[in-house]
Structure 1
Amino acid sequence: MTVSDYQPGDSAIHRLPPGIKILALAALGTLLFIFPRLEFAVAALFAIVVLYPLAHIPVRTLLLQLKPLLWLLLLLFAVQWWMVSWQSGLLVIVRLAALMLMAALVTLTTRTSAMIEALEKGLFWLRYMRINPAKISLALALALRFIPVLAAITLEVREAQKARGLDNSMIAVAVPVMVRTLKMADDIAAALEARAYDPQLSSPRKNGEKIHVD
């Protein structure tokens, strides 16, 4: 299982409408950047961490969400400390960790198909601009769903190349990640085609039923 796979459950967070969770994620991201204060970022991170037990998600799963980004967080902290101050570096990594954990919580407690449906309903106004909201909602939902997966792929490749003594080579890490990402994209496209996805319809369907791409 990769990080941020949907985990079935009956918690209050699982039962929340997908639209509410997506709006909460957007609001959190907006507030974290509107109020760039360390106290607020730490409070937000603490509140999000508390939500994981409420959703009956193990602590190990929570830690797995941050493990792929650990090296990036350390790098960002070092750069900010060197260029600005250690307080600025701490703010950056706490803010990024809060956003990452919140996005992971949404994907852990919400089916991708439910996110697509919620986004499609919220983007109904795009029809007046002759834009199919089904295409936009599918792209956004898949992007939200697979960002943690790509992070996990990068971690796996780095560990494999480290065993070969190539962990310091950017090309040795980037090329396999790109190949696996393109293969995953092909698999998703094949799955949608096999389920008779029609972008001209209001939502992906097969025989009148919604497609699940979890």
Structure 2
Amino acid sequence: MNGLTGAYVPGGSFLHRLPAGVKLLGLAVSCTALLLSPPVGLAGAVAVVALLYAVSGVGVAAAWAQIRPVRWFAVALFGVQFLLVDLPGAVSSTLRVVLAVALAGLVTLTTRTAAMMAFLERCLAPARFLGVDPFRLSLLLSLTLRSVPVVAGLATRVREAQRARGTERSLRAFAVPLVVSALRHADTLGEALSARGLDD
């Protein structure tokens, strides 16, 4: 199943060895802590996230790939917060979002799809009493989570192509290529699922 997305980066770090459930629980706790953390505590959070990425050994390129799709959103968020609140508030809000995305990306980079699905399937086991297949539901959730950064990456590439052609103000020039790229990705994903007998 990991070949469906290619997000996982093989490694032998302690993060790679942690169970998927522990990492997802840690992600939930960390994101909650980021929301509740005072501005001064965010500097420490930046250091911790940077250290986790360094220890994981996923590489700078993979780390940047997690943040890159949301960089313009972060810039826009900073601008809005700066106008509505103040500089410290803008920095804090932007850092919280970027750090949360980075942590979620780290979980994706260090967790195999099969392990993620197995954990979700166990959590969703009660759905069987409602006539829902936990395996297929966990597959849906896993693919949904992993498709978010993929679509964001597609949007970034389309926007960069727009700027290169000087058509960055055209909504049509952005929307049409993005939809086409997303449909192509969906077709590729569908073919991969079909090859694994999961298309019914």
TM over 0.5: yes
The residue type paired with residue 9 of structure 1 is: G
Query: For residue 58 of structure 2, what is the aligned residue in structure 1?
Result: 57
Q: Which residue number corresponds to residue 7 of structure 2?
A: 5
Query: Is the Cα contact below 8 Å between 1:123 and 1:137 reproduced in 2?
Result: yes
Letter in 2 for 1:17: P
- Contact residue 63 and residue 102 of structure 2 kept, 8 A: yes
2:47 is the counterpart of 1:46? yes
Displacement after TM superposition at 1:45 (Å): 3.1
CA distance in 2, matches of 1:128, 1:173: 44
Range with greater deviation from structure 2 (20-29 or 190-199)? 190-199
Letter in 2 for 1:18: A
Q: Letter of the aligned partner of 1:117 in structure 2?
A: A
Query: Conserved in 1, the CA contact under 8 Å of 2:10 and 2:110?
Result: yes
Per the alignment, in what secondary structure is the counterpart of residue 116 of structure 1?
A: helix
Task: Give % identity.
Answer: 38
User: Are residue 146 (structure 1) and residue 147 (structure 2) matched?
Assistant: yes
> Displacement, 1:128?
3.3
Residue equivalent to 2:97: 96
User: Letter of the aligned partner of 2:17 in structure 1?
Assistant: R
Deviation at 1:4, TM superposition (A): 7.5
1:211 aligns with none
Once the 2 structures are TM-superposed, how far is the Cα of residue 168 of structure 1 from its aligned partner? 2.4
CA gap of 1:162–1:198, structure 2 versus 1, over 3 A, is closer
Consecutive unaligned residues in structure 2, runs of 5 or more: none
Q: Alpha carbons of 1:190 and 1:165: their partners in 2 closer, same or farther (altered >3 Å)?
A: same
| Inter-partner Cα distance in structure 1 for 2:199 and 2:157 | 34
In structure 1, the residue matched to 2:73 is: 72
1:24 aligns with 2:29: no
In 1: Cα distance, 2:6 partner to 2:108 partner: 6
With normalisation by structure 2, the TM-score equals 0.88
Letter in 1 for 2:142: A
- Which residue of structure 1 aligns with residue 171 of structure 2? 170
Amino acid at match of 1:45: V
TM-score by length of 1: 0.82
Structure with bigger helix share is: 2
In structure 2, distance between residues paired with 1:23 and 1:97:
19
Q: Structure 1 stretches of 5 or more lacking a match?
A: 200-214
Distance 2:75 2:108 in 1: 25
Displacement of 1:120 in angstroms is 0.8
1:122 match = 123
Residue 17 of structure 2 corresponds to 15
Between 190-199 and 158-167, the greater mean CA deviation after superposition: 190-199
Give distance in 2, aligned partners of 1:19 and 1:189. Answer: 27
Cα distance in 1 between the residues matched to 2:120 and 2:33: 21
> Do the aligned partners of 1:127 and 1:133 also contact (CA within 8 Å) in 2?
yes
Does structure 2 conserve the Cα–Cα contact (< 8 Å) formed by 1:4 and 1:105? no
2:174 corresponds to which letter in structure 1?
V
User: Which amino acid is 1:142 matched to?
Assistant: L
Question: Counterpart in 1 of 2:181?
Answer: 180
Shift of 1:36: 5.2
- Structure 2 residue 194 is matched with structure 1 residue 197: no
* Distance in 2 (alpha carbons) for counterparts of 1:27 and 1:123: 20
Shift of 1:196: 0.9
Q: What is the match of residue 107 of structure 1?
A: 108
